[in-house]
Amino acid sequence: MIHSRFRLVPALALLIAFAATGFASAAKAGTQVFQGIVRHISSNNIKVYDNASGKTQAFVLVPRFGNVFKADGRTPSDLHHIAAGDYVKVYYDQKFLGAFHADRILILNNANMVKSRTHG
């Protein structure tokens, strides 16, 4: 009985250390950026292709994801306004199990730039 308690202590210490590193990485939410052409969009994920690097990256979207912004980069939009073929910039972080999690999405123009505001 005493030996099983001694085995439990290192396991708990390891679990606490692992959880602490997860919380530290969560503090840097949205610090990484990926931009390119949307290849797939659904209510729970988005897949973006970067033509410059040739990489495709998938991002998990939380239910009721609301951090999509229109052409000016400041006006809120809805996820259903994004379609395959649109240029986007995704601010993301990497969560506990290694999945890339989108924190914010900007809709870009054909030159991969945030669309400028039009007046009048």
pTM for the structure as a whole:
0.66
Question: Distance between CA 98 and CA 64 in Å, rounded?
Answer: 21
Task: Specify the amino acid at residue 23.
Answer: F
**pLDDT score at 5:** 52
Report domain extents, the chain: 30-108
pLDDT in tens, 10-43: 554 544 444 444 444 444 555 799 999 999 999 8
Decide yes or no: CATH 1.10.3720.10 for domain 30-108. Answer: no
Most confident of 26-40, 82-96, 105-119: 82-96
Q: SS in 3 state form for 55-87? A: EEEEEECCCCCCCEECCCCCCEECHHHCCCCCE
Question: Distance between CA 97 and CA 3 in Å, rounded?
Answer: 31
Looking at residue 91, what DSSP letter applies? E
Answer yes or no: are the C-beta atoms of 103 and 92 closer than 8 Å: yes
**pLDDT score at 60:** 92
Answer yes or no: are the C-beta atoms of 86 and 46 closer than 8 Å: no
The confidence band for 111, taking pLDDT boundaries of 50, 70 and 90, is: low
